[in-house]
Amino acid sequence: MLKFYTEKQVRERIQAAVDAAVASAVAPLLARIAELEQEIARLKKNSSNSSKPPSSDIVKPPKITVCRKNGKRRKGAQPGHPKYERTPFTEEEIDRHVTYEREDLDPKEWEPLDEWDVVQQIELKELPVEITEHRARRYRNRRTDEVLGARLPEEIRTAGLIGPRLSAYIAFLKGACHMSYTTIQTLLADVYGVTLSTGQRAKITTEKVSAALAAPYAELRAALPAPDRLGVDETGHKDDGHKLWSWCFRARRFIFFHIAETRGSQVLMDILGAAFAGVIHGDYTPKSSSPSSPPQGSSRPTT
């Protein structure tokens, strides 16, 4: 029995046959493309964009070309380096505003806007120190001629010529910055307009600041036996030809330094106590295998 199709039906059957043939031919190609994309992604991973070690790199990651003159690295930011812009100061941080206006513009023609070109500038004051004279009045008894004086606050009497903030600054320059007394003297005179003798500067760092730190130093020393783990090490140095040892105790939240005349374990006993039950991490190595030598890694205080 013959079956007749319309022209539209013939076109639809032909299109369906073509689509099926194309899909059958394209399917393995799409699968292969997916495999290649996965392989490319795997090969792109190297030590610079993943946790792979450098030794596993098949091809070394591309290097950023740096413009050099005479073989030297160019000054300033390098290509590929992200731009950094400083966060502006807030209104609470700004001490004063200086406003600049245009006096040559006709206000009938030019409307002033609440918009500004801003430059925030940090500058040292001409005299960046404050000199205060504390005066305690004296009184004479009209009948007996006895003289009495008002009492200065104890913190003022203790601080003396140099206030606590400037004393801490001088101690920072000497301790953390390792500046000599002469360099500190020059800095104070040239920048701050303050002249101090060498003896005064030495007194600030060796007596005044040391006395101020005595209480927190004792507090940290008392807290040392509490942690269950401590990193301990010592190093030798000389002071005026005398051999001393600087001990470092590293706790979880603070570091404690102690200067002793010996590197022996008695220092540990004195600071941590014989009842210390924690673990000391150090570079101790037994000199012999005698029974008196404590085993490496022992929690017993040793050096």
- Domain CATH code at residue 247: 3.30.160
Same domain assignment for residues 216 and 234 = no
Residue 183 maps to a domain: yes
pLDDT at 287 over 50: yes
- pLDDT at position 166: 92
Residue 172 maps to a domain: yes
Residue 248 maps to a domain: yes
- pLDDT at position 136: 93
Longest dimension (CA), the chain: 151
Same domain assignment for residues 186 and 210 = yes
pLDDT at 299 over 60: no
- pLDDT at position 80: 72
Residue 214 maps to a domain: yes
Residue 18 maps to a domain: no
Same domain assignment for residues 239 and 252 = yes
pTM of the model: 0.55
Give the least confident one: 14-18, 58-62, 166-170, 257-261: 58-62
Q: How many domains does the chain have?
A: 2
| Structural domain span for residue 256 | 224-281
Rounded CA separation 192/165 (Å): 14
Give the least confident one: 37-41, 70-74, 90-94, 205-209: 70-74
What are 154-171's pLDDT values in tens digits? 989 888 899 989 999 999
Give the least confident one: 43-52, 161-170, 185-194: 43-52
pLDDT at 73 over 80: no
Residue 166 maps to a domain: yes
Rounded CA separation 46/222 (Å): 50
pLDDT at 57 over 70: no
- pLDDT at position 82: 79
Tokens of 225: 């036996």
- pLDDT at position 300: 43
From the centroid of its chain, how far is CA 58? 37
Give the least confident one: 9-13, 247-251, 287-291: 287-291
Tokens of 191: 């920048």
Percent of the chain topping pLDDT 90:
34
Same domain assignment for residues 209 and 244 = no
Say whether 68 sits in a helix, a strand or coil. Answer: strand
Residue 236 maps to a domain: yes
End-of-domain residue from the set 179, 204, 223:
223
What is the band of 298 on the pLDDT scale with cuts at 50, 70, 90? very low
- pLDDT at position 39: 85
Same domain assignment for residues 168 and 180 = yes
Residue 80 maps to a domain: no
pLDDT at 2 over 90: no
Same domain assignment for residues 237 and 266 = yes
What is the band of 293 on the pLDDT scale with cuts at 50, 70, 90? very low
- pLDDT at position 15: 83
Residue-by-residue DSSP string for 80-129 = TPPP--PPPPPTTT---------SSS-TTT-PPPS-----------SS-S
Same domain assignment for residues 218 and 229 = no
Same domain assignment for residues 219 and 249 = no
End-of-domain residue from the set 223, 238, 271:
223
**β 68-69/147-149 pair status:** unpaired
**β 229-239/279-281 pair status:** parallel
What is the band of 172 on the pLDDT scale with cuts at 50, 70, 90? very high
Question: Which residues are CB-contacts of 161 (< 8 A; sequence separation ≥ 6)?
Answer: 200
End-of-domain residue from the set 200, 223, 246:
223
What are 86-106's pLDDT values in tens digits? 889 999 999 999 999 999 999
Same domain assignment for residues 244 and 270 = yes
Q: What is the mean pLDDT of residues 213-239?
A: 90
